[in-house]
Amino acid sequence: MRYATRRKIVSRVAEALCAVAVLLALLPLVLILFYVLKEGAGALNLAFFTQMPKPVGETGGGMANAIVGTLILIGLAGVFAVPIGCLCGIHLAEYPETRFSSVVRFAADVLNGVPSIVVGIFAYGLVVLPFKRFSAIAGGVALGLLMIPIVVRMTEELLRLVPSGLREGALALGATRGRAVFTVIVPAALPGILTGILVALARVAGETAPLLFTSFNNRFWSLDVTQPMASLTVQVFTYAISPYDDWHRQAWAGAFLLVMIILALSIMARLAVRRLERMNRG
């Protein structure tokens, strides 16, 4: 009897500890979001979006060039990664069982696990060294490489969510494989894939390490993709390790903006997938 009671108590305690583990993980999440909101929202103003960085020592100014820079960089990344990622994902979804597909899937997993700083070195050797200059293109390539595995797996999974009846219907009507994929299956999964791409873009928009020696940084307004370009993340890094209070304030504002973009996109993506799942069931 006493032994049984002890076992029950042990069970209860262990269950409670699991709940504590959840709280322990949520605590930093809450703390980070709280500080980003507290320090960041207050520091955000119109000047942050419209003005250029002020010279050292002057307060005020903003990150207009870095915001535009980040948009250009992730745009370049998308142009580079989306065609490769989507077509690769389509191949994996259409021919899931072949040996080639499992090798490619493994390669995508490996690429997903490669530290972003190493991907940065690769982009440096690929684009910066031959042209002897830091450039937005190099940064875009680095971010694109990081995006590819996410887009690949996302496309594959979402295509598999499409009801098989749709594919069978298209094939029964005499459509070729390619036609069935591009006119029936991909359009059915398109809202999911598009938001998935947005999430992947948001993910790489938060990357800093691979940009440090590819797109580098730029204190001036520049839209030239063959020149160094500012980005929100590198700017936040530069400001965070600086000794100036006003720069710290702006670093928090930049972090706030990044987190908001990521939250908004991830919520949008969830809504789109819900819709796809409803379609799948109904």
Partner 1 sequence: MTRSRDDGMFRFTTAAFAAVVLLIVIAIGVELWRQSFLSIEKFGLHFWTGTIWNPVSGQFGALPFIWGTLYSSILALIIATPISLGIAVFISELSPQMLRQPLTYLTELLAAIPSIVYGLWGIFVLTPIVRKLELAVPDPLKKLPLFSGPPLGVGMGTAALILAIMVVPFTSSVAREILKNVPMAQREAAYALGSTRWEAIKVALGYGKSGIIGAVMLGFGRALGETMAVTMVIGNNPQVSASLFAPQYTMAAVIANEFTEAADELYLHALIEIGLLLFIITIAVNALSRLFIWSMQKRTGRTVILRPAAIEEVAA
Contacting partner 1 within 114-143 (CB under 8 A): 114-119, 121-122, 124-126, 129
Q: How far is the CB of 72 from partner 1 (least distance, A)?
A: 18
Best CA proximity match to 79, nearest among 201, 234, 226 = 201
For the segment 7-26, give every residue that binds partner 1 (CB under 8 A). Answer: 7-8, 10-12, 14-15, 17-22, 24-26
The DSSP result for 18-40, as a single string, is HHHHHHHHHHHHHHHHHHIIIII
113 forms part of the interface with partner 1 (CB under 8 A):
yes
Interface of this chain with partner 1, residues 179 to 208, rule: CB under 8 A: 179, 181, 192, 195-196, 199-200, 202-203, 205-208
Contact set for partner 1, span 51-80 (CB under 8 A): none
**153 forms part of the interface with partner 1 (CB under 8 A):** yes
Structure tokens at 40: 């960041």
CB of 191 to partner 1, least distance (A): 11
Candidates 37, 47, 64, 101; binder of partner 1 (CB under 8 A) is: 101
Regarding 229 and contact with partner 1 (CB under 8 A), the answer is no
Please report how close the Cβ of residue 15 comes to partner 1 at its closest, in angstroms: 6
Q: Looking at 37, 39, 54, 64, which residue binds partner 1 (CB under 8 A)? A: 39
The encoded tokens of residue 208 equal: 């800093």
* Count of all residues that appear for the chain in the document: 282
**Rounded Cα gap, residues 116 and 129, in angstroms:** 18
Please count the residues of this chain forming the interface with partner 1, following the rule CB under 8 A. Answer: 104
Are the C-beta atoms of 205 and 232 separated by less than 8 Å?
A: yes
- DSSP for 117-175, written as a single string: HHHHHHHIIIIIHHHTS--HHHHHHHHHHHHHHHHHHHHHHHHHHS-HHHHHHHHHTT-
Q: Measured from the CB of residue 39, what is the shortest distance to partner 1 in angstroms?
A: 8
> Using the rule CB under 8 A, is 152 a contact of partner 1?
yes
Rounded CA gap, 282 and 8, in Å?
Answer: 44
Stated as kind and residue range, the H or E segment containing 185 is none
